[in-house]
Amino acid sequence: MEQHEILVRPSLRERGWLVSYLRDETVGGILLIVAAAIALVWANSPWGDGYLELIDLQVGPESLGLNLPLGVWAADGLLAIFFFVVGLELKHELVVGSLSKPAQAIVPAAAAIGGMVVPAAIFVAVNVSMDGGSTRGWGIPMATDIAFALAVLAVFGRRLPVALRAFLLTLAVVDDLGAIAVIAIFYSDKFSLPWFLAAIALFVLYAVAQKMRWTSPFFYVPLALLAWYFTHESGIHATVAGVVLGLLTRVKSDPGEQESPADRLAHRIHPFSAGIAVPIFAFMAAGVDLRSIGIDSALTEPVAIGIILGLVLGKPIGVFLGAWITATFTRASLAPGIAWRDISAIGVLAGIGFTVALLIAELGYEENLLLLESSKLAILVASLIAAILAGIALTLRGRHYAAIAAVEEADKDNDGIPDVYQEPSAR
């Protein structure tokens, strides 16, 4: 097997897509943090009962079985939009992005898998070995919140090389795919085969319409809503519909097309997902009521300990080992300017598990209020610890990243294209 480099600078076109996408996520991450902070303060204020009444307020047509609490609408409805964008991102990465070339994809994919397996294993080990443990939430520490992580980068790692940002995005996207698979298989209930088959039929119709190059929103919007409803009624978590539709969307542009349907939809929907849907879900889910259980008792539950250890320790260990072992066996070497300590820093950053972690916590412990509140608090604490540690690690490498950025972003002729992409070796 020939030796090759990984985490190389992405192409100019891919760099443009990546920078645009990450800009939206950074803004969304800041809004997410603000929304979660407001929820946490409100839930523990003298007006906390009003917060609980709000998320339990039921709205929707009862005749369709959709008279649901606002908290459920946020998890099942708004996060379906989030996972649709995730599906679009994954399709982009698989077809034209960093996962399209096996030699470049194998190491970040293995890092992502390691970053899911090790935290889950730590969580299970803690909860099996301690009295009062519950393994039901083993999927909670698997997830990485790209928006929250990018908000941390906006403060501590603004000059992080594009290749490392792409690596972080790949980790998060593969994590999200793993999480949605876990949700579909292990956290869905009351399965209904007729509704499931009806949903499959609509997914097939969507794929055919993409192949036939149909473009009318008057066809796709009702189809997507029906696919979501049929998936919801099938007993599979409704967010699965979002990621399936995203994966079925065409990502290669035809001659004469400026953008493919996947990229066009991502540009239109991603700001809504990152700036509205996810922050609203964070507001609905992050309001941990500590007035009755207390911080000490909540964080000493085996579930909470497993989540904190899984995210803070398991994530960086799993990411590093997955990447290093795979690189060793495939004879891959890191691109110039990137070191294994940078992979470790990204692993620490990946320990920020928020949006999807909160969703899995609600699915896993919806019938046990103590464990649910403990899980949510642990997610918040672990994400904060991971953010602080990542900030320290990135700050220590700040001068090195600034030197790389000076080269990658230099544009002496002011033509809008970084000079490194106009050198003979880049052509």
Which structural domain range is residue 53 located in? 4-188+237-409
Cα angle at 166 between 163 and 167, to 5 degrees? 90
Q: Is 196 inside a domain boundary? A: no
Q: Is 229 inside a domain boundary? A: no
Task: Please give the full DSSP string across 199-263, using - where no structure is assigned.
Answer: HHHHHHHHHHHHHTT---HHHHHHHHHHHHHHHHHHTS-THHHHHHHHHTS--SPPTT-SS-HHH
Q: Is 259 inside a domain boundary? A: yes
Quote the CA–CA distance of 215 and 217 in Å, as a whole number: 6
Q: Which residues contact 156 (CB under 8 A, 6 or more apart)?
A: 390, 391, 394, 395, 398
Structure pTM? 0.89
| pLDDT per residue as tens digits for the range 5-23 | 777 777 777 777 777 777 7
Q: Is 285 inside a domain boundary? A: yes
Q: How many CB atoms lie within 10 A of CB 188?
A: 16
Quote the CA–CA distance of 278 and 283 in Å, as a whole number: 9
Q: Is 220 inside a domain boundary? A: no
Q: What is residue 3's predicted lDDT score, i.e. its pLDDT?
A: 66
**H-assigned helices in 235-335:** 239-247, 261-272, 278-285, 295-299, 302-309, 315-329
Within the chain, how many helices (H) and strands (E) appear? 19, 4
- The number of domains in the chain is 1
Contact of 290 with 377, CB cutoff 8 Å:
yes
Q: Is 206 inside a domain boundary? A: no
Q: Is 31 inside a domain boundary? A: yes
Q: Which of 381, 309, 274 is nearest to 130 (CA)?
A: 309
Q: Is 228 inside a domain boundary? A: no
Q: What is residue 427's predicted lDDT score, i.e. its pLDDT?
A: 47
**Which CATH number characterizes residue 323's domain?**
1.20.1530.10
CA 345 to chain centre: 18
Cα angle at 146 between 145 and 149, to 5 degrees? 85
pLDDT-flagged residues of the chain (< 70): 1-4, 411, 419, 423-427
- Identify the bridge partners of residue 6 per DSSP, sorted by sequence position: 334
Q: Which of 80, 109, 82 is nearest to 94 (CA)?
A: 109
Burial of residue 135, with CB atoms counted within 10 A of its CB: 0-12 exposed, 13-18 middle, 19 or more buried: middle
Q: What is residue 138's predicted lDDT score, i.e. its pLDDT?
A: 94
